[in-house]
Chain A
Amino acid sequence: QVQLQESGPGLVKPSQTLSLTCTVSGGSISSGGYYWSWIRQHPGKGLELIGYIYYSGNTYYNPSLKSRVTISVDTSKNQFSLKLSSVTAADTAVYYCARVPEPWGQGTMVTVSS
């Protein structure tokens, strides 16, 4: 079955760019009809959609993050990626990748700190 796994640094300095990759196994990221999504969860809080890329290549970004977010796909590696620029402590969260509605990755904690 399809599985997703996030990877990337667990610690990012303020003002730098957070970069995460989601590797898809057990299925093709090019298969149609799915929303390849990035979602985050601040400690003790609810789920926040960061954005997603549709199989057609169209993207949607949360308006509150839009100016700092880029989501892209690398079909040759069966991966999709998140870049969040100019991070602050408020970006400290668990970051999940998901093929909505499932499956989800296990999540990766990213801390923004100097």
Chain B
Amino acid sequence: EVVLTQSPGTLSLSPGERATLSCRASQIFSSSYLAWYQQKPGQAPRLLIYGASIRATGIPDRFSGSQSGTDFTLTISRLEPDDFAVYYCQLYGSSPLTFGGGTKVEIK
């Protein structure tokens, strides 16, 4: 079973600061892809990044994703008030689909 570990659990930052979120996979396969989602209270998750580094339609370029081996990173270059939310990573493209436990980005 593939496990995705997100860190930190909570990130306390101020608007304008840079946020770096980590997602580590216990293993990946050649057909594995990683997605990042943003979720706000009462809303469905919103796709930000797919294929580890491709921004979804309409996502601002302050959001970027990268991969190094089994380590994935979501970077928000300059936090805006609307960015304070919970972020999840998900592996897909190979069985089984797996979610990370989430990182909450809160206002400091």
Contacts and interface: CB of A to CB of B under 8 A. Distances in A.
Interface of A: 35, 37, 39, 46-49, 52, 60, 62-63, 96, 100-107
Interface of B: 1, 33, 35, 37, 39, 44-45, 47, 50, 56, 88, 90, 92, 95-102
A101 B97 CA distance: 10
Contact of A49 (B47, B56, B96): B96
A41 B55 CA distance: 25
A105 B43 CA distance: 10
Contacts of A106: 44
Given A104-B45, A105-B44, A49 B98 contact: yes
B44 A49 contact: no
A35 B56 CA distance: 18
Given A49-B97, A102-B56, A104-B45, A35 B102 contact: no
Contacts of B47: 101-104
23 contacts: A37-B97, A46-B99, A46-B102, A47-B88, A47-B90, A48-B99, A49-B96, A49-B97, A49-B99, A52-B97, A60-B95, A60-B96, A63-B1, A100-B35, A100-B97, A101-B33, A101-B35, A101-B50, A101-B90, A102-B47, A102-B56, A103-B47, A104-B44
Q: Which 6 A-B pairs have the closest CB atoms?
A: A101-B35, A102-B47, A47-B99, A104-B44, A46-B102, A100-B92
Contacts of B35: 100-101
A81 to B, nearest CB: 18
Contacts of B45: 47, 96, 104
Contacts of B96: 49, 60, 62
Contacts of B97: 35, 37, 49, 52, 60, 100
A37 B90 CA distance: 13
Nearest to A1: B57
